[in-house]
Structure 1
Amino acid sequence: MAKQSTLNKSIKEFIGPKHWPTWIGMGIAYLLSFLPWSALQGVGKVLGKVLYLVASRRRHICDVNFKICYPDMTKAERIKLTKEHFESQGQGLLETFASWFQNKNRFASKITFEGEEVIKDVLERGRGCILISGHFSPLDICGSQVPRILDVHPIYKLQRNPVLNWVMERQRKALFSKTIERRSMREVLKSLKQNKAVWYAVDQDYGRSDSVFAPFYGRECATIAHIARISKMTNAPVVLYDYGRTQTGYHLSFSEVIDFPTKDDVENATRMNSLMETAIEKKREQYFWGHRRFKTQVNKADPSPY
């Protein structure tokens, strides 16, 4: 089934028997969202351990990524990091449910911000700004807190499961003043013109046609090029949004990417990848290592490493 927005669709379209398993899952997710924060973390780790046992394909992708990014890492070290990654993903899954079904103010005491003055400074220029980040397991719960200091319009990807899409799109619409489907460049430009922040996660492989090749952990990697192009077109400053889970909550930081972009797409992509590497190394286990980051090869004839 093709991915389609469900924002203009009624729930009546998704109540047939074929959708019941997903609705049951959403009901369980709703109940789990009420867990206290410490229990949320503990249950999330247990869920991650289960996922590690059953998700053999994702384990394989993680191992391939570790071999590419950390060639000196031993097999035992890769297994250890993979287990830690799955535990973090389990925590992130429950945090996503909590961000969808609970009032965002419930987690306010768990959040620390750094770089609020950066946001104020860039928006005073009247060009909006482009937030760039990577994919880390607390993405949704940290993202739900950004509107406390910034009117941000996140770019999102449609899901194949229509029920999940229906819930996700509505919950995110309730959190953010506007969300933008990733193919809607017109809406991106409109938001920047209105001096809003547009948020991109820039560390996924979107395929050859939308990318340039730049090193990521020392290996040429398909990297989206249009971030720098949008910045050049609109004069919108680019801000690195880094976030992560701590022992006591979450830390969100904002820093302007200085002297960016340049006129060279590969140089810009290399800079973004370097920023992502720095962010990853602070919290390796929280990164989405289950993504096939290196699936598109420089040489079309070369097979995918996965």
Structure 2
Amino acid sequence: MVKFFLKLFSMMPLKLNHLIGTLIGRLLYLTNSQSKHVVRKNIEICFPNLSKAQQQDLVKESLIESGKGLSESGFVWFNSFEYNAKHIVKTKGAQHLKGNENTILLVPHFGCWEIAARVVSLHRPTTFMYKELNNKKQNALLLSLRQQQDLHMVAANKKGVLKLQRALKDKQLIAILPDQYPDEKGSVVSSFFKQDTRTMTLLVKLAKNNNAKVLMTWADRLDNGKGYELNVKPVNILSSTGMVDDDVALMNQAIEQLVKTKPEQYLWNYKRFKGIIRY
């Protein structure tokens, strides 16, 4: 059933796809869904200076963008990389992807990270770390849809880390979504929107140990199904102190600055602070 709807979404023009996604988001908002509860809690934590009305508006906008994220998944996964690339109407910073430097893509849960990964891999082979789903059948489907052409996927485990290191040595790009909630091992507690939360250390350690440049990479979702804007921007996440805690703090600050540009496009229905607060 999931595959059927993803395929159906893939056949729609992007404008219609995002219209359906908007309706999904509005439904999530109107039905007091679990997603709405999590989004509201996160926005209350991260934007305490907004009025209640402003927070509610942001909750609604965020759920609409989440709905678009659901519908556009089929659009991205069941169409070719080249077809996806046609919907990138503007690219900033593509020159940073060239060359043979060790390069790590810092990819937050912002905008459409799925299309960003595909389009970047057209410039240079890319190995992307992902978190496995508990449902093995769904995980196998997800992996088959994501891992194509020069986009390779590795699981977030010890074997996956070794594969990332091997990919770096082979001069591939490697990509990590560092704002997922990690296990205690391989993480530290760091501030994100002035709220302490557990944050992975893998990306900063790989950057330091491999003398790699770090590129913040994201695709803004444009209004009215007009496409996407791909952005590739060098960021400094290695502190002057050389301490991992300080490096992670810099990384979180960089993500926070991006999120503030279009907060509705961040994945707020993810329990980012679950180890600290109760949802």
Scaled by the length of structure 1, what TM-score is found?
A: 0.83
Return the alpha-carbon distance in structure 1 between the equivalents of residues 53 and 183 of structure 2.
Answer: 32
Q: CA deviation at 1:175?
A: 4.5
Aligned to 2:229: 251
Aligned to 1:278: 257
Contact kept? 2:122, 2:150, Cα under 8 Å: no
**Number of equivalent positions:** 273
Seen in structure 2, the aligned counterparts of structure 1 residues 52 and 162 have a Cα distance that, compared at 3 Å, is farther
Matched, 1:228 2:218: no
Contact kept? 2:107, 2:113, Cα under 8 Å: no
**2:278 aligned partner, one-letter code:** P
Contact kept? 1:153, 1:179, Cα under 8 Å: yes
Matched, 1:268 2:247: yes
Return the alpha-carbon distance in structure 1 between the equivalents of residues 215 and 189 of structure 2.
Answer: 22
Q: 1:218-239 deviations in whole A, cap 9, x for unaligned? A: 1222111121111222222222
Aligned to 1:3: none
Name the SS of the counterpart of 2:232 in structure 1: strand
Query: Quick one: which of 95, 104, 129 aligns to 1:117?
Result: 95
Name the SS of the counterpart of 2:148 in structure 1: helix
Aligned to 1:301: none
Contact kept? 1:110, 1:249, Cα under 8 Å: yes
Scaled by the length of structure 2, what TM-score is found?
A: 0.91
Contact kept? 2:111, 2:219, Cα under 8 Å: no
Which aligned segments of 4 or more residues in structure 1 are displaced greater than 6 angstroms?
none
Contact kept? 2:108, 2:255, Cα under 8 Å: yes
Contact kept? 1:131, 1:239, Cα under 8 Å: yes
Query: Quick one: which of 18, 26, 34 aligns to 2:11?
Result: 34
Name the SS of the counterpart of 2:86 in structure 1: helix
Name the SS of the counterpart of 1:198 in structure 2: strand
Aligned to 2:54: 77
Identity rate, percent? 25
**1:281 aligned partner, one-letter code:** K
Q: CA deviation at 1:66?
A: 1.2
Matched, 1:49 2:22: no
**1:201 aligned partner, one-letter code:** L
Name the SS of the counterpart of 1:93 in structure 2: helix
Matched, 1:215 2:194: no
Aligned to 2:125: 151
Return the alpha-carbon distance in structure 1 between the equivalents of residues 148 and 46 of structure 2.
Answer: 38
Contact kept? 1:207, 1:296, Cα under 8 Å: no
Seen in structure 2, the aligned counterparts of structure 1 residues 152 and 288 have a Cα distance that, compared at 3 Å, is same
Q: 1:12-55 deviations in whole A, cap 9, x for unaligned? A: xxxxxxxxxxxx23112212210011111111101111223346
Q: Provide the aligned C-alpha RMSD in A.
A: 1.8
Return the alpha-carbon distance in structure 1 between the equivalents of residues 231 and 3 of structure 2.
Answer: 31
Aligned to 1:164: 138
**2:219 aligned partner, one-letter code:** Y
User: Any stretches of 5+ residues in structure 1 without a counterpart?
Assistant: 1-23, 298-303
Q: CA deviation at 1:271?
A: 0.7
Contact kept? 2:117, 2:151, Cα under 8 Å: no
Contact kept? 1:242, 1:279, Cα under 8 Å: no
